[in-house]
């Protein structure tokens, strides 16, 4: 699951830089993530983990740097990039008038109810399928957001502190699910402050501010 691969990385980032008001959040950052790998970004609040994930997802523009998916250059602002890279980020957007099942159905290529219900059941919230996002607790919305990764196609999954609002049992279940999601043609990059999640995953950690990582 977490071993290094000599094959072309599924995700390769080089020379990434992002600054706000002239102050760099990260610069000259590099990362390789192979197919089947789970890699965790660690570091204190303010280290730039969430910003980096947003830039990789195409939700925020980079100032400098290049990204490649399976060896091919990928423009984070392109539709092709958004098809390959899926981010469940801190500002995950819920449309207020759509139910949780509606949201997942829109993300599913088949637009079918069965995989949507199965995804919600995996995260223990099948009974909330017909509820509106505003009616759910923070923990329930977090589980629903994570369930989207089970129905939406992707090659690179980006998760910003996915353990938020989950209890210890939920964190264990999350680790098991992430291990099952990663495969030869898919990888996971997440940020976390949870030692328990890191221990359960047994994955490689990369600290922001430590320079290029491969």
Selection from 106, 90, 22, 9 nearest residue 57 by Cα: 90
- The predicted pLDDT at position 11 comes to 98
Looking at the structure, give the CATH architecture of the domain made up of residues 11-92+153-207.
Answer: 3-Layer(aba) Sandwich (3.40)
CA distance 64 to 17: 5
- The predicted pLDDT at position 6 comes to 60
- The predicted pLDDT at position 110 comes to 80
- The predicted pLDDT at position 71 comes to 95
In the predicted model, residues of the chain with pLDDT beneath 70 are: 1-6, 209-214
- The predicted pLDDT at position 48 comes to 93
CA distance 23 to 116: 43
CA distance 52 to 209: 12
- The predicted pLDDT at position 4 comes to 41
- The predicted pLDDT at position 65 comes to 97
Hey, where are the domains in the chain?
11-92+153-207
- The predicted pLDDT at position 16 comes to 97
CA distance 58 to 75: 8
């Amino acid at each position: 699951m977490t071993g290094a691969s000599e094959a072309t990385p599924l995700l390769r980032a080089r020379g990434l830089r992002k600054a706000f008001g002239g102050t760099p959040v990260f610069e000259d950052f590099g990362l390789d993530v192979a197919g089947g790998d789970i890699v965790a970004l660690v570091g204190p609040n303010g280290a730039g983990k969430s910003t980096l994930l947003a830039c990789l997802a195409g939700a925020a523009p980079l100032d400098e740097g290049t990204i490649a998916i399976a060896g091919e250059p990928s423009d984070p602002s392109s539709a092709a990039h958004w098809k390959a890279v899926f981010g469940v980020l801190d500002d995950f957007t819920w449309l207020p008038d759509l139910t949780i099942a509606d949201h997942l159905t829109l993300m599913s290529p088949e637009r079918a109810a069965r995989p949507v219900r199965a995804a919600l059941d995996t995260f223990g919230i099948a009974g909330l399928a017909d509820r509106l996002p505003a009616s759910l607790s923070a923990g329930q919305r977090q589980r629903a957001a994570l369930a989207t990764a089970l129905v939406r196609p992707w090659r690179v999954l980006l998760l910003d502190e996915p353990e938020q609002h989950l209890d210890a049992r939920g964190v264990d279940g999350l680790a098991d699910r992430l291990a099952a999601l990663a495969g030869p043609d898919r990888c996971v990059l997440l940020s976390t402050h949870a030692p328990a999640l890191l221990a359960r995953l047994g994955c490689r950690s990369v600290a922001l501010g430590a320079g290029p990582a491969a």
